[in-house]
Amino acid sequence: MRAYLVLVVVTALACGALTPLMRRIGLRARVFTPVRQRDMHRRPIPKLGGVAMAAAVLVGLAVGGTVPFLQGIYADDAAMVGLLVAVAVVLVVGIADDLWDLRWWVKMAGQVCAGLAVALGGIRIEAMPVGWIPVGSEAMQIALTVLAVVLTMNALNFVDGLDGLAAGVALIGGSAFFVYSYLLTRTINQFDYANLATLLMALLVGACLGFLPFNRFPARIFMGEVGAMLLGLLMAAAAVAVTADVNALDGMRFRNVPAYMPILLPIAVLALPLLDLALAVLRRTARGASPFSADRGHLHHKLVDGGYTHAQAVWLLWLWAFLVAWGAVSLNFVDDMIVLPVLGLALLGAGYLTLRTPVRRRRAGASTAGPALDPEEGA
């Protein structure tokens, strides 16, 4: 655990040192997020923060390579090369999009290339998490892995709409995934529990910790396309790596971790981004628009339009992310009969907090409008 915590600190410090530098570069180069009708900010803000996050992740990877405890992970040269190529693709495509606002299919092609780099490096979905049905076809393993990477990248990108929201959600979900993958690896092998998924989550958590102080409301810099795609890449690669870990287990060694966790945890960690993504696709498709067209219908927009302040909406969505992700992880080390009732009550409380202000606002609007007059009385 100490080795992973060292990487969290190193990555956080590197990101914290590089983010102000990228902010100055963004200001001088005038790489701003434009103020559009659907956006929540009201002044141009530089958006190269993701470059600092990617550089910090690379620093963390380099430092990790010098730690003896982690040498088993770095012994797989193909996987490391695949990850480095994927990060390079994210940097090139993300910076290009931040500078020139690429067409959606160009970004999609870049995301597919990043997913291919991960899959061709050997990090692949080797078993379907429902029933752990082996995926024997190499082509199918690659296709499923690319799909997972592209889906996760876009989910994180869709939720990146308020100051600190995407970084906070990724930090909360990544920390839960970090604990889960660490516990799972201890279950697999009590003598050598260095694990790629845990390493990637340590880097993600560190990058988010270093970036969030500059990105929380009121934000001084945005992560841009690079940051959203980077977080999605790390999350997806870790989730895919876990499928290989669990596929190698037998029932006896897996007895301390619930069998449904490998499918529940990745979904729980990404529940908020995936929900927002699904609703956006359905909403846009229903009105005949492209699923990739922008609008003001995301969950965070609904909260702000419902009467919450910018900061309150972020805290509410962080609360939902925490309850779902950490509620799922707690099933590993706390009795279900304790976790489920407590989690249920907490979710009800979160639901009350979420709906309270919009309901009050509607009632106030109805009372202000007053009762409608009968036509005859009005005459």
Q: Is 36 left (phi over 0), alpha (psi -120 to 50) or beta?
A: beta
Distance CA 237, CA 247 (A): 16
CA angle in degrees (0–180, nearest 5) for 175-6-114:
60
Reported as a pLDDT band with limits 50, 70 and 90, residue 354 is confident
Is 256 part of any known ligand binding site?
no
Question: Strand, helix or coil at 40?
Answer: coil
Contact 56, 68 (CB under 8 A): no
pLDDT exceeds 80 at position 209: yes
Distance CA 129, CA 342 (A): 27
Q: What is the pLDDT of residue 42?
A: 60
| Residue, of 263 and 76, whose pLDDT is higher | 76
Q: What's the average model confidence in pLDDT over 350-359?
A: 82
pLDDT exceeds 70 at position 253: no
pLDDT exceeds 80 at position 168: yes
Q: What is the pLDDT of residue 374?
A: 40
The percentage of the chain sitting over the pLDDT mark of 70, rounded to a whole number, equals 77
19-35 confidence digits (pLDDT tens):
999 999 999 988 877 66
Give the DSSP per-residue string, 53-114.
HHHHHHHHHHHHTT-GGGHHHHT-HHHHHHHHHHHHHHHHHHHHHHHH---HHHHHHHHHHH
Reported as a pLDDT band with limits 50, 70 and 90, residue 349 is very high
Q: What's the average model confidence in pLDDT over 300-314?
A: 77
Q: What's the average model confidence in pLDDT over 125-152?
A: 81
Q: What is the pLDDT of residue 250?
A: 44
Contact 223, 31 (CB under 8 A): no
pLDDT exceeds 90 at position 367: no
pLDDT exceeds 60 at position 260: no
Q: What is the pLDDT of residue 286?
A: 76
Helix (H) or strand (E) holding 195: none
Q: What's the average model confidence in pLDDT over 291-319?
A: 75
pLDDT exceeds 70 at position 125: yes
Contact 209, 8 (CB under 8 A): yes
Distance CA 84, CA 205 (A): 18
34: burial class by Cβ within 10 Å (0-12, 13-18, 19+)? Answer: exposed
Contact 263, 240 (CB under 8 A): no
Q: Which among 267, 45, 286 is positioned nearest to 177, based on CA atoms?
A: 267
Maximum mean pLDDT: which of 63-67, 160-164, 369-373: 63-67
Q: What is the pLDDT of residue 108?
A: 94
The residue to which tokens 């729980």 are assigned: 268
List Cβ neighbours of 134 (8 Å cut-off, separation of 6 or more).
126, 127, 247
35-67 confidence digits (pLDDT tens):
655 555 567 889 899 999 999 999 999 999 999
The CB-based long-range contact list for 140-146 (8 Å cut-off, 24+ gap) reads 142/116, 145/115, 145/118, 145/119, 145/240, 146/112, 146/115, 146/116, 146/119
223-238 confidence digits (pLDDT tens):
999 999 999 999 999 9
